[in-house]
């Protein structure tokens, strides 16, 4: 989780086309949703980057496990409900027409049993005819151990270098991020570990089908990682 880098999250991911991705999602939802409403829950919403644009079309709410991220999201969208909860077992005691889990946040479940439970939990929050959209993390074949990575932020009063080398431990991808941050207040260095489960596409699809969803796969997705679209049958 982004325990140490929360305050820099939006700067680090400023390259991301949230507006374009939200429009793509809106198109897919229009093609597949059969429930009559327009409520949407963004699971693992982070700072609310997608919500900024999805709110133009839907009555949106967000959910995240990280209190710091939720606080940033609430600052950006004080009029939108945000909930604290784990995607594996949250219970909001209501249903939505759309549930999304984006930017590979689903990988945070780490294990196959937790993946299956998370999908069951999200499905329970869908109206009949509603749509669940999941953007997967990298597959075992698409994850390259030992590859170095670097990301840079170059703003007038903020410079960031984030670097890591891809690793795997017990079938889980390990990203040990090292940050060098420069602001007018000084220079700081810190590290942060992220662990994400590596699941083949077949395991995502099977978990969604076992939750009684009709499943489609968009292999390109929003940023090349694919996109799973699960439709809850109207008669369910």
Q: Where along the chain do its domains lie?
A: 6-139+198-231, 148-197
Q: SS3 for 122?
A: helix
Please give the mean pLDDT across all residues of the chain. Answer: 97
pLDDT digits (tens, 9 = 90+) for 109-163: 999 999 999 999 999 999 999 999 999 999 999 999 999 999 999 999 999 999 9
Q: Which pLDDT belongs to residue 4? A: 86
Residue 57, pLDDT above cutoff 80: yes
**pLDDT interval class at 185 (50, 70, 90):** very high
Residue 75, pLDDT above cutoff 90: yes
Instruction: Find out whether 177 and 5 touch, Cβ atoms under 8 Å.
Output: yes
**The CA-based dihedral angle spanning residues 180, 188, 9, 46, taken in that order and rounded to the nearest 10 degrees:** 120
Instruction: Find out whether 217 and 226 touch, Cβ atoms under 8 Å.
Output: yes
Q: For domain 6-139+198-231, give the CATH superfamily.
A: Vaccinia Virus protein VP39 (3.40.50.150)
Q: SS3 for 15?
A: coil
The topology (CATH level 3) of 148-197 is: 2.20.130
Asked whether this chain's domains 6-139+198-231 and 148-197 adopt the same fold, the reply is no
pLDDT digits (tens, 9 = 90+) for 8-37: 999 999 999 999 999 999 999 999 999 999
Q: Residue with structure tokens 């083949």?
A: 200
């Amino acid at each position: 989780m982004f325990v140490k880098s929360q305050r820099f999250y939006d700067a680090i991911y400023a390259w991301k086309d949230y507006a374009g991705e939200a429009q793509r999602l809106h198109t897919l939802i229009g093609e597949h949703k059969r429930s009559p409403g327009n409520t949407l829950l963004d699971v693992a919403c982070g700072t609310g980057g997608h919500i900024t644009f999805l709110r133009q079309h839907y009555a949106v709410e967000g959910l995240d496990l990280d209190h710091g991220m939720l606080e940033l999201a609430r600052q950006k969208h004080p009029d939108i409900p945000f909930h604290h909860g784990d995607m594996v077992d949250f219970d909001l005691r209501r249903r939505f027409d759309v549930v999304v889990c984006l930017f590979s946040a689903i990988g945070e479940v780490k294990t196959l049993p937790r993946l299956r439970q998370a999908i069951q939990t999200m499905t329970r929050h869908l109206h009949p005819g509603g749509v669940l959209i999941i953007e997967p993390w990298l597959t075992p074949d698409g994850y390259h151990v030992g590859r170095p990575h670097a990301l840079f932020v170059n703003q007038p009063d903020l410079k960031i270098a984030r670097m890591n080398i891809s690793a795997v431990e017990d079938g889980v991808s390990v990203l040990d991020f090292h940050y060098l941050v420069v602001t007018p207040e000084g220079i700081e260095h810190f590290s942060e570990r992220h662990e994400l489960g590596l699941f083949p596409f077949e395991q995502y699809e099977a978990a969604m089908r076992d939750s009684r969803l009709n499943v489609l796969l968009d292999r390109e997705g929003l940023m090349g990682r694919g996109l799973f679209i699960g439709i809850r049958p109207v008669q369910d």
